[in-house]
Amino acid sequence: MGNENDTRVHSTRSSSSSTSASKKRVSNATHSQQLTKKRVPLGEITNTVTDSTQNSDLDSTQKQVLHLKEKAEQDSENWSIAESTQISDVEISTKNTKCEVKIKNQWDLESSLSSGSNQGLDLKKCSFSSSIYGYLHSLEMEENRRCLSNYMTKVQTDISVKMREILVDWLVEVAEEYKLVSDTLYLTVSYIDRFLSSRALGRNKLQLLGVSCMLIASKYEEISPPHVEDFCYITDNTYSKEEVVDMEKDVLKFLNYEMSTPTAKNFLRILTKAAQEYCKSPDLQFEFLSCYLAELSLLDYQCVLFLPSVIAASAVFLSRFTIHPKMHPWNASLQRCSGYRPSDLKECVLTIHDLQVKRKGSALLAIRDKYAQHKSASMERTNNSSS
């Protein structure tokens, strides 16, 4: 009986994956098209001001925002020049408000993480988006929104770290199967970790908790979320509709029906824009790699130690280091906006870097396969448009 429980998550995952691959949800074909709808991220909606608006009289709020932006640009130049004197072996060249840091020799990851100023940072100097960042940061610090960093040893007796890794890896496949936005996946893992931080759960209920948390998260994030029957189907009907609904109720009561919480994805949207403050066009390679690295952190139980904002900042740091190894991966804009120095990110960056180079989690392929497929599809679209 014990051996059957040990292998339940593994067997259910493999059987559900093969079943979903062969059937492709034939029984749910009537609403499959609805599941392909994607929510437009609020951060991606353009805020460009038209010429007619520029010519019209600005109200007091608009004037205040413009004043803050101008002040932030001026402070950015002054702050960057002052901070540059504390970084060794670099050359600073300024042009208007832009500061470029040119590294004489190639930076290694350790030296990049050790550099940075020790002076305090004022979030008021940031742009308007950083005010949102500051609000999200205050929310993530609330105790009820955080999980225990040692819940596997302190609370759980029948669930292991390996089981959690397998569950999250499988949930990535489920999210891809139902075309869920990444916010849903991040929120799902947050619910799971927080629930497991306070309640002991048998291993035979771990997958049930996973699909129930994803059901709640998809209702919150998606326009057309999957139905309860869809999540029963994806588990090869291991759990009944009543079991999923009952677990959903338990999770909602535990959350006190407060389903919203900041995730690394929320911070990542702001920081990727801050990193490209002076770019004429978005760096899609950088954004793609940042999303990939941040998502890898979901697999590692050790990453529950870090705040979502730290994970997002570390993903940006490591992405810039990977793409431009001869340039310092952190700059004044990122440090001012995030409030973190490179030394603050060291432990998290090294943890994610281990995942990146497959020193950890090499057998967990769902996220790697997901981004490999997206990259191939993107390259194919690029080739078709150019031909």
Q: What angle do CA 122, 326, 347 make, to 5 degrees?
A: 55
Same domain, 66 and 214: yes
pTM of the model: 0.68
Range 110-119 average pLDDT: 54
Q: Is the pLDDT of residue 80 over 50?
A: no
Range 56-68 average pLDDT: 51
Final residue belonging to a domain, choices 235, 255, 275: 255
Q: Cα(75)–Cα(301) distance, rounded to whole angstroms? A: 39
Same domain, 178 and 283: no
Final residue belonging to a domain, choices 230, 255, 280: 255
Q: Give phi and psi for 68, each to the nearest 5.
A: -65, -40
Q: Cα(387)–Cα(384) distance, rounded to whole angstroms? A: 5
Q: Is residue 236 very low, low, confident or very high in pLDDT (cuts 50, 70, 90)?
A: very high
Same domain, 218 and 281: no
Does some domain include residue 335?
A: yes
Same domain, 205 and 348: no
Same domain, 72 and 146: yes
List C-alpha distances in Å: 328 to 43, 127, 274, 294, 332. Answer: 27, 22, 15, 20, 11
Does some domain include residue 31?
A: no
pLDDT at 94: 31
Residue 213's domain is classified under what CATH number? 1.10.472.10
> How do beta strands 90-95 and 98-103 pair?
antiparallel
Same domain, 64 and 197: yes
pLDDT at 145: 92
Q: Is residue 62 very low, low, confident or very high in pLDDT (cuts 50, 70, 90)?
A: low
Same domain, 279 and 247: no
Read off the pLDDT of residues 115-165 as tens digits, 9 standing for 90 and up: 554 444 444 444 566 688 889 999 999 999 999 999 999 999 999 999 999
Lowest-confidence segment of 36-45, 136-145, 174-183 by average pLDDT:
36-45
pLDDT at 358: 84
Same domain, 335 and 220: no
Does some domain include residue 297?
A: yes
Domain residue limits at 199:
60-79+142-255
Q: Provide the number of structural domains found in the chain.
A: 2
Same domain, 218 and 71: yes
Same domain, 222 and 296: no
pLDDT at 60: 53
